[in-house]
Structure 1
Amino acid sequence: MWVPQYSGHAQPVYLMIADALEQDIGSGRLNADDRLPTLKELAEALKITPGTVGRAYDEAAKRGLVVGEVGRGTFVLPAKPQATPPVQETGTSNDSAQIDLSIIKPNDANFGTWLRDSITELAHSTDLSRVLDYATDGGHAVHKQAGARWVQRSLPEARWQQIVLTSGAQHGLLVAISSLSKTQDVILCEEHCYPGIISLAHSLDRRLMGVQIDEYGLVPEAFRAACIEHRPALLVCVTTHQNPTNSIMPPERREAIAQIAREYDVFIVDDDIYGFLESQTVHRPISAYAPERSVYLTSLSKSILPALRIGYLYAPPELLSRLSSMVRSSVWMPSPLMAQLASNLINSGMGEQLVKEQQQEAAARQQMAREILGNYQISSQPNSFHIWLVLPEPWSCDEYANLARAHGVTVVSGSQFLSQRTTATRGVRIALMSPSRAELHFALTKLASLLASPEPRLFY
């Protein structure tokens, strides 16, 4: 039964329930057509009156989130297409609109020119007819060769024959988890993890278990204990710029995790989506330490362009047929047209140039965040795309996220990253790359002013 997670009294309870419902739909915890608890069931679970639950459901219905059907119950509605917002002048802030610091993505200031040039080049290419047809299993050879060049930035020994194309990193996670585990298998991940992993595990009917982390990422002793207790099928982990805590796992710990996985026969899904932000000669992927049981995953959506939905899996030969079969079952094939555009960017060297520009932009924004929020506990890296803000007493993460939203800034409550709801957290994730620098400065200043307020419950 769905039960909303909220704390404190930042606003009336029915609004907090409606906000939690909206957050859980957005994160994938609730899907279209899911049936919500009855008024009585949820009232008993939360120890409130059925009338309060009814007001919450009415508020959710006004927002277009749910619909009530007489005799059947209340159900989650499919997401409505977003209307195109009015064009805002670059570099200005609209105090009546939300500034969205909830999504980690590259800054789009320089997208236009190179994207137009790349599409024009592709339109006049002799390769165009080939990429308008079906692709072979795993993708066309030329696209896998380009993918291997991208993966070789992290794994220099990567062979193109061991590349499988996916429709982005989230699809890559689905393919890997589906291929390497079965229904009701235990999957391990960090106790704070990317919400996409949580929604995938639940939708695939896997049992997700969180493993203790510290400032250096996954704790080897905790991983070993989880292997002994749960006998997991696989581990999904982010060792570089962990989402959301921003930790970077040192080499000796990566080696220890790999050895434990080998000892207990656990597959590793090595999600290296942010590896491009660091020197990969220093921070070798965990796959390098256990290549025989690792599936390495990366994509271009964080480093170059969110809409460039091409990802690359690199796996040992004995897993390739399973992975390719799952790609075919789930999407039949990633778009060859998109794969060719990605390949052109990689082969021309433009991909590397765009990565360097993103690193430089991220460094400037991290400096801004440290100047504005430096008096508070934040976890960051010099060129990361986000920060993890640990809230001071008496704030709760849901309370602060709700208040920030009411003041026009969207951040993500730490509760959305909990692999198991039994874990506590006091953090919020703040993405830095989406708005202009002027908008970011404005938003961060707002967030700092909320923290400086003597009482969290400013609008109760």
Structure 2
Amino acid sequence: MIVSGTKWEEELRRAGRSKYKALARAIREGIVSGQLQPGHRLPAVRDLAFEVAMTPGTVARAYKLLIDEGRLTAGVGKGTFVSGSQRAPQAVVPGTPILHDPVYDMHARAHLLSPKMPDLGQSEMIREAMRHVAAQTAPDQLLRYPSRDTDLPARLAFAKTLSADQVGSFTVDDIVAAHGGQSGIIMVLQSILRGPSPIIAVDELSYGGFRSAAMLNRATLVGIPWDDQGPRPDAFELAIKEKGIQVFCTSAEVCNPTVLATSPARRLEIVRVAERYGVHILDDDCYRLMQTRYIGPSYRQLLPELGWYVTSPSKSITASLRIGFVIAPHGWSGTLQRTAAFGSFGISRLVTDVYAHVVAQPGFDQVIDGVKARIRQDIRAAVNMLGRYRMNWAEDVPFFWLDLPEGWRAGEFCQAAETAGVLVKSAEDFALRDSRSVHSVRVAVNGLVSHQRFCEALQVLRELLDKPPERIVV
């Protein structure tokens, strides 16, 4: 229940990365118990965020979740209230999708929080692959645990998409399948971290999954600042000496969220430091199939004894096909295989066989080209509409980084955009707790939002950028 000074506030502070879910659960329990009556007005987003030490974006996500459930109602300028009645389940109409996610309702808010691929034929390819797998798989194979033998077709299919110039020399035995790229990151850390309090380095602004993986491994994070060439070698070496870093998690081709790439020369400098101190480097390259540009070889190619390569089809085909791949450094594949086996007993062949079949389809490259074209269309529209402001972007990367003009703070801008119907991510979502304040936002291309709706969302953002709030400094 939303009452100051009660036990639920402390529980929320301990909720970690799922704070918005914990807040939504607290409000939901208050509604179900009758403590929050229909018509009760909840605190404003910023007020509640300050009270429970959360970001406004976190509170807004909790409110949005409950609005989608029908437990809350909201109106611009009116506030957020407990609904008089909960939304009744809708009957399934034959021939229509069973699941409907309101975040993709074209008449509702534009969710530009996370890159999602448009459907340009891959959903039908997946359906066809499922039919094929169902028809061709022997009944006894549907009753067995998966193994390295059952995921071999997927590893072979993945290997055909790789270039030794990018990832270095490898065999199919060096490849280990995972339950998505995030699972692959966690597996790598489980394989190499040692001691009760390991230390992990990440880019100063970096993918939030690195922080989640560190938390699961009881690791402490250290941020490595960037310049225009990539991570600073001097800062990397100093952090190794002072903190005892065991692994550096980074993305050399596309830094998420800044879109920046590490130059080939800088990669060599980072590798020299890592070699000198025996530090592993995990290179997350989940946007690889989208890229028409090629910056340089991965850290695995440059650091064959300590470099790890992680990727998945989530940012090229679909995020629902939960499979990813890790290429271990020389001598580490056995350790990684054991980690994967102990963690889940393998990836279901219903997933690995579907992936292998989809990648082998004659139209697969055309689907990827279509996805690229849609991303290019949205990014070009963003540059045309917001180009007067400082942006980091690339036509083949499904998000862009936008520096806010004087007067806007990242959290306030995200809240104003959310109120206007557009959800974007604040720089706070990519920064470590003790990092410097950065007043920027990441705007993702969501292929499940129409191009027209995306342009309408850009117009909303431009109107906000053009009119920053006035501030009085006293």
TM-score range normalised by the length of the shorter chain: 0.7 to 0.9
Which 4+ stretches in 1 moved above 6 angstroms?
Answer: 21-26, 59-65, 82-85
User: What is the alpha-carbon distance in structure 1 between the residues aligned to residue 454 and residue 350 of structure 2?
Assistant: 35
CA separation in 1, counterparts of 2:410 and 2:202?
Answer: 21
* Mapped partners of 1:303, 1:332: distance in 2: 26
Tell which deviates more after alignment, 432-441 or 139-148.
139-148
Q: Distance in 2 between matches of 1:127 and 1:165?
A: 22
* 2:450 aligned residue: 436
- Cα distance 1:54–1:148, how it changes in 2: closer, same or farther (>3 A)? closer
Cα distance per residue 1:189-233 (max 9 Å; x no partner): 100011111122123210100000133332222212222222211
Aligned to 2:115, which of 92, 95, 104? 104
2:292/2:396 contact within 8 Å kept: no
Q: Relative to structure 1, is the Cα distance of residues 325 and 396 closer, same or farther in structure 2, using a 3 angstrom cutoff?
A: same
Letter in 1 for 2:464: L
Provide closer, same or farther for how the CA distance between residues 30 and 211 of structure 1 changes in structure 2, counting only shifts above 3 A. Answer: farther
Pair 1:278-2:291 in alignment:
yes
Q: Report if aligned partners of 1:132, 1:337 keep a CA contact under 8 Å in 2.
A: no
Q: 2:297 matched to 1:291?
A: no
Alpha-carbon distance, 1:346 to partner:
2.3
Which moved further from structure 2: 153-162 or 388-397? 153-162
Kept after mapping to 1: 8 A contact 2:111/2:446: no
Give the aligned residue type for 1:337.
Answer: L
Equivalent of 1:377 in 382, 390, 394: 390
1:200 corresponds to which of 187, 209, 213: 213
Is 1:249 the equivalent of 2:275?
A: no
Q: Do the aligned partners of 2:291 and 2:397 also contact (CA within 8 Å) in 1?
A: no
Paired letter, 1:151: L
Does the alignment pair 1:452 with 2:466? yes
Deviation, structure 1 residue 298: 0.7
Question: Which deviates the most, 187-196 or 269-278?
Answer: 269-278
Between 1:370-379 and 1:218-227, the stretch displaced more is 218-227
Alpha-carbon shift at residue 290 of structure 1 (Å): 0.4
Q: Does 1:217 align with 2:230?
A: yes
Q: Does 1:116 align with 2:127?
A: yes
Match of 1:44 in 2: none
Secondary structure at the residue paired with 1:268? Answer: strand
Partner residue, 2:191: 179
Distance 1:212 1:299, change over 3 A: same
Distance in 2 (CA, whole Å) between partners of 1:316 and 1:436 is: 41
The answer on whether the counterparts of 1:132 and 1:336 sit within 8 Å (CA) in structure 2 is no
* Contact map agreement 1:270 1:285 (CA 8 A) in 2: yes
Using the alignment, how far apart are the partners of 1:256 and 1:138 within structure 2? 39
Summarize the Cα distance change of 1:409–1:270 in structure 2 as closer, same or farther, 3 Å threshold.
same
Evaluate the alpha carbon distance shift between residue 116 and residue 86 of structure 1 in structure 2; reply closer, same or farther with a 3 A threshold: closer
Q: How far did residue 126 of structure 1 move?
A: 4.7
Of 35, 53, 59, the residue aligned with 2:51 is: 53
Give the Cα–Cα distance (whole angstroms) in 1 for the partners of residues 185 and 318 of structure 2: 19
Which residue in the other structure is 2:177 paired with?
Answer: 165
3-state DSSP of counterpart to 2:161: helix
Q: Does residue 344 of the first structure (1) align with residue 357 of the second (2)? A: yes
For the 8 Å contact 1:209–1:420, the answer to whether it is kept is no
Q: More relative contact order in 1 or in 2 (CA 8 Å, sep 6+)?
A: 1
Deviations 1:45-82 (A, max 9, x none): xxx999x83899xx9998889xxxxxxxxxxxxxxxx9
Paired residues of 2:115 and 2:399 also in contact (CA < 8 A): yes
Check 1:251–1:129 CA distance in 2 against 1; reply closer, same or farther (3 A cut): farther
CA RMSD after TM alignment: 3.7
Query: Does the C-alpha gap of structure 1 residues 55 and 414 become closer, same or farther in structure 2, counting only changes over 3 Å?
Result: closer
Partner deviation per Cα, 1:310-329 (whole Å, 9 max, x = no partner): 11111134222221222223
In the TM superposition, 1:382-401 aligns within 5 A as 382-401=395-414
Correspondence for 2:147: 136
Could you tell me which amino acid in structure 2 is paired with residue 176 of structure 1? V
Aligned letter for 1:110?
A: G
Conserved? CA contact 1:139–1:164, under 8 Å: no
Counterparts of 1:279 and 1:251 in 2: how far apart (Å)? 17
CA deviation after TM superposition for structure 1 residue 348, in Å? 3.2
- TM (norm. structure 2) is 0.76
Q: Which runs of 5+ in 2 are unaligned?
A: 27-45, 67-88, 91-97
Contact 1:287/1:296 (8 A) holds in 2: yes
In the alignment, what sits opposite 1:41?
none
Distance 1:319 1:427 in 2: 39
Q: CA deviation at 1:137?
A: 4.7
Structure 1 counterpart of 2:131, which letter? T
Question: How many percent identity over aligned positions?
Answer: 25
Deviations 1:31-56 (A, max 9, x none): 869x99xxxxxxxxxxx999x83899
What amino acid is aligned across from residue 454 of structure 2 in structure 1?
L
Specify every segment of 5 or more residues in structure 1 that has no aligned partner in the other structure, as ranges: 1-13, 37-47, 66-81
| Distance in 2, Cα, partners of 1:285 & 1:55 | 39
Confirm whether residue 150 of structure 1 aligns to residue 161 of structure 2.
Answer: yes
Aligned-partner Cα distance in 2 for 1:440–1:22: 34
Q: TM-score, normalised by structure 1?
A: 0.78
Give the paired residue count: 407
Greater CA drift, 218-227 or 338-347: 218-227
Match of 2:38 in 1: none
